[in-house]
Structure 1
């Protein structure tokens, strides 16, 4: 491997062109500019080139191989061989999504992947940034017009070349006088000097704006691919309104027609820079991924993983309390129902397939209920949950006709064949001043009353969960107490006629579950609730009709695994346990 230099960069360039990755690290100009901080080493072969980069006091990391797609396998093999021979970590960084997908498909379960969110390239429409046309560009257009109004006749745009070099250096010294110069700024300054000192030898271009004879803005760019230009550096006097917009616009006006996109690199995780780049309305962001050759494994949970499972649960389900988490892991969690995707000692993601009995067309059917779906935040966006869920579905194929699932985002699971099957209606009750009927509300004294009401209610329903007395005593009532939910039974003529599970805040009363004996009981119960001063929301089955404003909601998804068709009518389920 040899160090990339001004003397040999052209050896690597043809291979980068073959790969056509469109991401800003895959550019010899970028590599040379930052060589004082990130040294790049490369080796070329007939069909591919491999490169790694070094930072001071850090292990080298590989970049994607540069070649056509059909030579990637042998290129990655060369990276593996070199890593083993020279003791370099077999890690590939700055991968595009397309390359990441290829790596995962080619080497299944061999690489640990992570999403480098802060390293995403911001890509813009060249014409939009050049013309500033359209509603999205209104603010930028206003700033540019303000610049023209104040400086028309006083500014001139010039191409970046040898004659502007010393003026750029003077402006850099002025710009740095307002900064706390750190290693990154020093390395950038060194890189700018390197590029401009060799402006005739390197494929770089750019522009400058002079106001009253003084350079106040400049940029440096190079072609990243056939249809994309990359802005390496762009600096302007921030005291001059619209100047940043002007330098980009005027430069883009000089480009050939075949340039369609502008790559403005990443935001480095800096909030102000992220906002500025987002405000420019990118047409897309190029995702970047890192990888390490580290085997993945799917396994059933055991006691050795419990602490990490619980930690991930607490991290990802932040609405849970210490008490509710303790309740879940004592009463509901079972190792045999929990699947894990792990890499060495690291928990990547998890889910649980908890068995549940539902009643379909009068018959009890045992189905898995998918809960506790969570991914380690460091590995979100890498497809691991999809990998684990597909595996889980294969394990129950042929053993059950259906799988049930609840989610925060229903759309995520549609690609896996889940359908929004169960609906409920959230009613905002219309306030009433009429006196309620002669029923009374009482606290729960006997859980059997709740079970009796529930079973009677479900006689006219389909797809409902089979509950028993143990469920009410050991799960339903304790869970309500943890969440400060109040359970009240509605009585008429010394008979229980319905019950509600309610949550109360300063302004609202929310009925999470409402079970009623018949239509008359429902209306009587609602009449009581409608007299509340607070806003009252009630979650009801789809057949119920009450006075108020209705909002249908999905409450459960279903995936069909066998030939049996899931019923459509009178479905009811209200499960969060």
Structure 2
């Protein structure tokens, strides 16, 4: 059987190299994303036929991300099929992009049932759109930002070792104010955010902070995803402060993403509120995601 082992921060270099070889645009193919959520999803990794294979828990079921890197993907999937059989289970693969779906249909025809996973579609926007917010469709976003700027006592700054604790404290306040909506998903996100804060520098993460009257009212954390795409992992703002969300979105892109063409703001995980918010920016790419279950 394949010798999977829990992901650690020491896996960053070799996994990042495999990710660069594929240059994928999906948010699942970020080392940081897999690492910070590793406690929640029991993430394990292995090198199989020159590919990186990520294993994780999907509601109690073993699941695997599509193999990444310049290795032999066909051979890697064949080994995964054998691995699942030896484990008395059926192979289940997630994080499958369009080209991966075509690959499976070409080389493994009749072996998998492949389905769209709408909850995992990534919302990707051009940097130009999120910077300028030009056009009639985004008029409302510009208005909200204008209301935020009505009070000139605001500032934007990068997240640093000196102000990270303030961001952590702000997030606790954000959670307290939403106590009536607290659920397991928010608890899981808190765990992932703690990991991101703890390993911020080792993961090469970047952050931006928005203040009003000296108090942090919003922050964002992201990183380089591939050669032309930046990914935003976290974005928090006090919702009662008009314009805080669109303002931190725009400011972070202006300060951190100008050397890229696109910004991936991840999926909506099936949350209707998130879906509405992400669609309100009219994504330039809605990156499809599929699952494949061995028949």
Report TM bin, short chain: over 0.9
1:13 paired residue number: 16
2:200 paired residue number: 199
1:64 paired residue number: 66
When normalised by structure 1's length, the TM-score is: 0.49
CA contact (8 A) 2:63 2:92 kept: yes
In the alignment, structure 1 residue 47 sits paired with structure 2 residue 62:
no
Residue 256 of structure 1 and its aligned partner are, at CA, apart by 5.2
In 2: Cα distance, 1:244 partner to 1:234 partner = 8
In the alignment, structure 1 residue 25 sits paired with structure 2 residue 24:
no
In 2: Cα distance, 1:94 partner to 1:201 partner = 25
Residue 188 of structure 1 and its aligned partner are, at CA, apart by 0.9
2:294 paired residue number: 293
CA contact (8 A) 2:49 2:75 kept: no
By relative contact order (CA 8 Å, sep 6+), the higher-ranking structure is 2
RMSD of aligned Cα (Å): 1.6
In 2: Cα distance, 1:2 partner to 1:271 partner = 35
1:108 paired residue number: 109
Residue 260 of structure 1 and its aligned partner are, at CA, apart by 0.9
Based on CA coordinates, which of the two structures has the bigger radius of gyration?
Answer: 1
In 2: Cα distance, 1:51 partner to 1:268 partner = 19
CA contact (8 A) 2:127 2:257 kept: no
User: Judging changes above 3 Å, is the alpha-carbon distance between structure 1 residues 89 and 46 closer, same or farther for their aligned structure 2 residues?
Assistant: closer
Which residues in structure 2 correspond to 1:177-216 (within 5 Å)?
Answer: 177=176, 178-179=178-179, 180-216=181-217
Q: Deviating runs (4+, > 3 A) in structure 1?
A: none
In the alignment, structure 1 residue 248 sits paired with structure 2 residue 249:
yes
In 1: Cα distance, 2:53 partner to 2:255 partner = 34
Matched residue SS, 2:218? strand
Matched residue SS, 2:9? coil
Which residues in structure 2 correspond to 1:356-375 (within 5 Å)?
Answer: none
In 2: Cα distance, 1:271 partner to 1:137 partner = 20
In 2: Cα distance, 1:231 partner to 1:282 partner = 14
In 2: Cα distance, 1:267 partner to 1:50 partner = 24
In 2: Cα distance, 1:272 partner to 1:183 partner = 16
Residue 86 of structure 1 and its aligned partner are, at CA, apart by 3.2
CA contact (8 A) 2:49 2:76 kept: no
2:94 paired residue number: 93
After superposition, give the CA deviation of every residue in 1:85-129 in whole Å (9 maximum; x if it has no partner): 333431111211111111111112221111111111111111111
Matched residue SS, 1:50? strand
**When you count strand as a share of all residues, which structure comes out higher?**
1
CA contact (8 A) 2:41 2:57 kept: yes
Residue-pair matches, total: 290
CA contact (8 A) 1:12 1:44 kept: no
CA contact (8 A) 1:39 1:55 kept: no
**When you count helix as a share of all residues, which structure comes out higher?**
2
Matched residue SS, 1:15? helix
CA contact (8 A) 2:127 2:258 kept: no
CA contact (8 A) 1:236 1:243 kept: yes
CA contact (8 A) 2:210 2:217 kept: yes
After superposition, give the CA deviation of every residue in 1:372-402 in whole Å (9 maximum; x if it has no partner): xxxxxxxxxxxxxxxxxxxxxxxxxxxxxxx
In 1: Cα distance, 2:224 partner to 2:282 partner = 21
Which residues in structure 2 correspond to 1:91-490 (within 5 Å)?
Answer: 91-149=92-150, 151-152=151-152, 154-177=153-176, 178-179=178-179, 180-255=181-256, 257-294=258-295
Residue 268 of structure 1 and its aligned partner are, at CA, apart by 1.7
